[in-house]
Amino acid sequence: MLLTISNLSKAFGDNQVLSGVSLTMHRGDKWGLVGANGVGKSTLIKIVVGEVEPDAGSAELAAGIQVGYLPQVLAAGDTLTVDELLARAQEHVHTIEAQLRALEARMAGSDDS
């Protein structure tokens, strides 16, 4: 299990955008969020990544799972390309990869004899 959402609900004032949403996502699953504007797609993602608190229910990620999220509305004045925005969302991955390469180089150069 990568993600479990249980009985999730969220309203903004009188506008109930999520009500009793439940799902489980397993490794290898492929999902798409499709719907009209205002039905809660972005709100669901924001709850999963911890940007928004649900009114009820829970969203739990498996240990070690990280979610990259690119908001659909960018900050005013942001002139980055899509490639630059995606790279920014994965900066932590590139940092970890660089650390691993440095450790590999140190291990390859060490002489334990």
Tens-place pLDDT, residues 2-36:
999 999 999 999 999 999 999 999 999 988 888 88
Three-state DSSP class for residue 95:
helix
Q: Are 57 and 5 in contact (CB under 8 A)?
A: yes
Question: Structurally, what CATH architecture does the domain formed by 1-69 represent?
Answer: 3-Layer(aba) Sandwich (3.40)
What percentage of the chain has pLDDT greater than the value 70?
A: 90
Q: Nearest CA to 16 among 57, 50, 59? A: 57
Residue 72 has pLDDT above 80, yes or no: no
Q: Is the dihedral of CA 63, 87, 26, 19 positive or negative?
A: positive
CATH code 3.40.50.300 region(s) in the chain:
1-69
What percentage of the chain has pLDDT greater than the value 90?
A: 55
Would you state the torsion angle of the CA atoms of residues 8, 6, 50, 3, taken in this order, to the nearest 10 degrees?
-140
Three-state DSSP class for residue 91:
helix
Q: Which residues pair with 21 in a beta bridge?
A: 8
Three-state DSSP class for residue 26:
coil
